[in-house]
Amino acid sequence: MSLDHALLVSLLEKPSSGYELARRFDRSIGYFWHATHQQIYKVLARMEEAGWISGELQAGEAAPDRKLYSVSRAGRSEVARWLAEPTEPEGVRDSLMVKLRGAAFGEAGALIPELEHHRALHANRLTAYRVIEARDFSGTLDRQRALQYQVLKSGIRYEQGWLEWCEEAIALLHGHEQDPPRREKK
Amino acid sequence: MSLDHALLVSLLEKPSSGYELARRFDRSIGYFWHATHQQIYKVLARMEEAGWISGELQAGEAAPDRKLYSVSRAGRSEVARWLAEPTEPEGVRDSLMVKLRGAAFGEAGALIPELEHHRALHANRLTAYRVIEARDFSGTLDRQRALQYQVLKSGIRYEQGWLEWCEEAIALLHGHEQDPPRREKK
DNA sequence: GCTTGCACTGCAACTCGTTGCATAGTATCT
DNA sequence: AGATACTATGCAACGAGTTGCAGTGCAAGC
C-alpha cells in the first residue's frame, strides 16, 4: 500500500493539515493518487502513531484549529527505504473496457453517450494539464520542478491517448449503430 | 464496484468455472480488470445467491470436479442495466509518479533501475498485445471481435505511452544523476 | 436572527480486496 | 516411493477504501 508514501511525499513538498492535503488530492498529486479526506485522516493518525510525522496543533484566530503535520527523521528514512524498494506497476481496472466487451451482448449504440462523456472529461483534464504546463513549467527548471514536470507529462500523454481512443471508439460504434445486438440463444 | 460485471461479461463470452475465469483474468480480460481467484470465487458465490448466474456441478473423470457457471436471464438484464448506467473514469493511482516526486528528496539516480524494470515490463506487454493483434484481429472482424479489438487497442496505446515515458524519465534522471539530493534543512 | 456555505476534524459501519492457509485428486518425473 | 506441479475450490483474518454521519466555528447573504 502507498497512500502513506503519497502523503509523506506531499508533506515533504509542503507541511500541511489534513484538510489541505485532502484538497491537494483533488488536484496536483491527486491526479496521480486519489484519496478521500477520511482515508487521509486515518492514515495521518496512523503515521503519527508510528512516528513518521508529527502534528502540531495551531489555534486559529479567524479560522478553525488545524493540525499541521511535518515529516520526522523516521519518516524521511521511510521514504528513502520505499524509494529503493522495487514496485510493480498497478493493475489496470477500467470499466469502460469491460463495458465495450459487454456491448457485444446488448445495444452497442447505447454506449455512445457514455463514450462522449468520457471524451469530454479527458479533454477537460488535458486542457487543465496544458494550463499547468504553461504556467508552472516553462523556461528552465530546477531538479524538483523537472521531476514534477515529468510526472505531469505522463498525465498529458495519458489523457491524450484516452482522447484519441474515445474518438476511435465512438466512430466504431456509430458504424455499428444499426446492427442488431448479437444473441446467443433466442 | 464492478468485478461482478467483469465476470458477467466474461461468462457471457464463455460459460466457465471459477478456475478458468481466474486464468482468464491473468490474460485477456485481466489486462483491463485484474482479480485474484479468491475474489472471483467470492463474487461468483454472491452472484449465484443473487440469481444472476447458475452453477452446474460437473463430475470430472480424469479431472477434479468443477462448477460451470452461466449467466441467467436476471444476470443478462443486470448487464443491460449496468451498460446503460453512466460510470466515471477510475481514479489513477500510480506509485511510480509519487516516487518520482519523492525522488526530489532523495537519491534520484536510485530510481533508474526501477524505471528500467518498468520499461521492460511495458515493452513485454506491448509485444504480447502485438502478438494477439496479429493473431486474432487481422482481416475483417464481426461486431464482437471489432469491439474486443478496440479494447486491445487501448492497451496498445497505453503500453506504448508508458514505454515512451519511461525512456524520457530515464534520460532525465541520467542527466541529474550527479546532482546532490535536495535538502530542506541541515 | 436564520440559513447557507465553507474550513476543519473525525467516528462508525460497511464493502472490497489481499494474503495465507487448507484440501484433494491427478499427472509426471526421478 | 516420494517429490513436485497442476487443476480445482474454498475459508479465515486482515487491511484498504468508501459512504454516511456528526460536530465546531466563522463569514456572508437575506
Q: What is the pLDDT of residues B61-99, one digit of tens each?
A: 666 788 999 999 999 999 999 999 999 898 899 999 999
pLDDT of residue B186: 44
Any idea which residue has 509485444 for its cell?
A: B127
Option in A33, A111, A146 nearest B93 (CB): A33
pLDDT of residue A66: 87
Q: Is residue A126 part of a domain?
A: yes
pLDDT of residue B27: 85
Mean pLDDT over each residue of chain A, to the nearest integer: 90
Q: Tell me which of A32, A57, A84 is where a domain ends.
A: A84
Same domain, A53 and A119: no
Q: Is residue A181 part of a domain?
A: no
- Whether residue A134 is predicted with pLDDT greater than 80 in this model: the reply is yes
Task: Please answer yes or no on whether A104 and B147 come within 8 Å at the CB atom.
Answer: yes
Task: Please answer yes or no on whether B34 and A99 come within 8 Å at the CB atom.
Answer: no
Nucleotide nearest to A39 (CA to C1'): D17
Option in B95, B105, B172 nearest A146 (CB): B172
Q: Tell me which of B84, B115, B136 is where a domain ends.
A: B84
A62 touches strand D (CB under 7 A): yes
Q: Is residue A184 part of a domain?
A: no
Q: Which three cell numbers stand for residue B41?
A: 470465487
Q: Is residue A89 part of a domain?
A: no
Beta bridge mates, B70: B54
| Over residues A125-141, mean pLDDT | 94
* Amino acid symbol at B44: L
Write the pLDDT tens digit of every residue in A20-43.
Answer: 999 999 888 889 999 999 999 999
Same domain, A53 and A120: no
Question: Whose CA is closest to A76, among B185, B169, B100?
Answer: B185
Task: Please answer yes or no on whether B33 and A146 come within 8 Å at the CB atom.
Answer: no
Q: Is residue B105 part of a domain?
A: yes
Alpha carbon of residue B140 to chain centroid? 26
Same domain, A107 and A78: no
Same domain, B10 and B73: yes
- Sorted by sequence, the CB contacts under 8 Å of residue B98 that are 6+ apart come out as A2, A5, A6, A9, A29, A32, A33
Same domain, B112 and B162: yes
Same domain, B8 and B73: yes
How far apart (Å, rounded) are the C-alpha atoms in residues A115 and A101? 14
Q: Tell me which residue range forms the domain holding A123.
A: 95-176
CATH of the domain at B18: 1.10.10.10
Taking a C-beta distance cutoff of 8 angstroms, is the pair B2, B79 a contact? no
Same domain, B100 and B129: yes
Same domain, B171 and B99: yes
Q: Is residue A185 part of a domain?
A: no
How many domains is chain A built from? 2
3-state SS of B30-81 is HHCECCCHHHHHHHHHHHHHHCCEEEEEECCCCCCCEEEEEECHHHHHHHHH
Q: Tell me which of B59, B84, B109 is where a domain ends.
A: B84
Same domain, A38 and A69: yes
The pLDDT confidence band at residue A180, using thresholds 50, 70 and 90, is low
- Please identify every stretch of chain B with a pLDDT value under 50, giving residue numbers as ranges: 185-186
- Whether residue A186 is predicted with pLDDT greater than 50 in this model: the reply is no
* Amino acid symbol at A57: L
